[in-house]
Amino acid sequence: MAQKSWLFTSESVSEGHPDKVCDRISDTVLDAFLAADPHARVACETLTTTNHVSIAGEVRGPETVLKTVDDLVREAVRDIGYEQDGFNWKTLEIVNRLHQQSADIAMGVDEGEKGEEGAGDQGIMFGYACNETEELMPAPIQTAHRILRLMAEDRKSGKEPRLGPDSKSQVTLKYENGRPVGVDAVVVSTQHGEDVDQETVRNIVLPYIHTAFPEGWSVPEDRIYINPTGRFVIGGPDGDAGLTGRKIIVDTYGGAAPHGGGAFSGKDPTKVDRSAAYIARYLAKNVVAGGLADRCLIQLAYAIGMPEPVAVYVDTQGTGKVDEAELARVLRETVRLTPRGIREQLGLLKPIYARTAAYGHFGRAPDADGGFGWERTDIADDLARHFGERRDAAE
């Protein structure tokens, strides 16, 4: 028998979390290459620890960009807000081990005779959407992101200087019959100033928690846990080493949907780990926005060097209003799912990636310059019309 009520939890981490510092640096390097050459190839990995950043990976693009990497790193760290003894944008050591891309990989993914690039690697990618929130995202992860974004906005504007860059949130919601109906627990841990006591930290953070939830939702005070381990002054890479790509569930759906395993940050759009996950989200979101399902999970599978996906799978989790096999066929006909087709559909060869490095790659408003273009719902009406016309004809 299907479970009718349950608790579900998702977490988020801020831009100052050590792993997210690495994601930001890797995507900043990617943006710099794409700004100089939209067809640059980048696979950039970053490690951080106490007052140190190491970068490694392969690129194909202007040599002039490689010469600016140190400046790019320092600017990214400065923007995040790190100017503390153990991690300071002015004084940190930077080791740059980026090198030219392997000719073997390049041969497999470069444009072929039919004007299509092959996928940059094999792999499976998932996209998901549901109607729990206006953004068509699962409510726990969306709320966990919102808490930290509100805190970061006030910290960086100077409105709340007592908060530090490193923070984490966790939201547990109550579900009944597949819908979120209330809040069970909220956990927030945040870095803070040396002279700020725990009671003050709680009073600072509480308003952000209450603001993050929709109107009418109450959070039980005895189920709010703020800095439960106590003092949190030393944070960021000084407190814990960071690596690119270690927060893939934070980046996507908070565990509410599967993840193919590949990270996003530091990878150009020929890497289907990133671009195919974006197009899968785009398709799933348009299915839900078009009223064809309340929830939609899409899986795409690729082989290295091959342009077309080897498989497309659609699962509307019992909420679909149309046949799933037919929906998969229509989606594949509507959007070209080759790396080049994805790039053109979503406008991915632009310097739009540093902004994705924290607070989720999905559930964000599309930007005028093409950022978060995978969040558009511009084919939802066409999908609804197609299936509406098919239903009309059947009747």
Phi, psi at 21, each rounded to 5°: -60, -40
Q: Side chain identity at 177, as an amino acid letter?
A: N
Annotated binding residue 240? yes
17 annotated active-site: yes
15 annotated active-site: no
Q: Among the options 36, 56, 106, 241, which is catalytic? A: 241
Is 184 buried (19+), middle (13-18) or exposed (0-12) by CB count in 10 A? middle
Annotated binding residue 247? yes
Q: Among the options 36, 52, 56, 58, which is catalytic? A: 58
174 annotated active-site: no
Q: Among the options 246, 332, 355, 390, which is catalytic? A: 246
**Residue 238: both structure tokens together:** 């000084």
**Residue 129: both structure tokens together:** 């959407």
Q: Among the options 8, 20, 129, 284, which is catalytic? A: 20
Is 82 buried (19+), middle (13-18) or exposed (0-12) by CB count in 10 A? buried
Q: Among the options 145, 146, 149, 247, which is catalytic? A: 247
45 annotated active-site: yes
Q: Among the options 160, 240, 324, 381, which is catalytic? A: 240
Phi, psi at 195, each rounded to 5°: -100, 15
Half-sphere exposure of 100 (CA within 13 A, CB side): 5
DSSP per residue, 264-279: -TTB-TTSHHHHHHHH
267 annotated active-site: yes
Q: Among the options 41, 74, 149, 271, which is catalytic? A: 271
Q: Among the options 267, 274, 285, 340, which is catalytic? A: 267
Measured CA to CA, the distance from residue 345 to residue 336 in angstroms comes to: 8
Other beta carbons within 10 angstroms of residue 120's beta carbon come to 26
CA dihedral 390, 321, 309, 339 (to 10 degrees): 80
58 annotated active-site: yes
Annotated binding residue 375? no
Q: Among the options 11, 17, 119, 192, which is catalytic? A: 17
Other beta carbons within 10 angstroms of residue 223's beta carbon come to 12
Annotated binding residue 271? yes
Annotated binding residue 167? yes
Residues 155 and 329: beta-carbon distance below 8 Å: no
Annotated binding residue 223? no
H or E segment at 249?
A: helix 248-251
CA dihedral 32, 35, 38, 42 (to 10 degrees): 0
168 annotated active-site: yes
Annotated binding residue 101? yes
Q: Among the options 23, 27, 45, 117, which is catalytic? A: 45
Tell me if residue 343 falls in helix, strand or coil.
Answer: helix
Q: Among the options 8, 11, 15, 19, which is catalytic? A: 19
Is 355 buried (19+), middle (13-18) or exposed (0-12) by CB count in 10 A? middle
Annotated binding residue 111? no
90 annotated active-site: no
221 annotated active-site: no
Annotated binding residue 267? yes
Annotated binding residue 104? no
Q: Among the options 24, 146, 168, 361, which is catalytic? A: 168
20 annotated active-site: yes
Q: Residues annotated as binding site?
A: 17, 19, 45, 58, 101, 166-168, 231-232, 240, 246-247, 263, 267, 271
Positions marked catalytic:
17, 19-20, 45, 58, 168, 232, 240-241, 246-247, 267, 271, 273
Binding site per annotation, positions for L-methionine = 58, 101, 240, 271
Known binding-site positions for K(+): 45
Detail the residues annotated as belonging to a binding site for ATP. 17, 166-168, 231-232, 240, 246-247, 263, 267
Residue numbers in the known binding site for Mg(2+) are 19
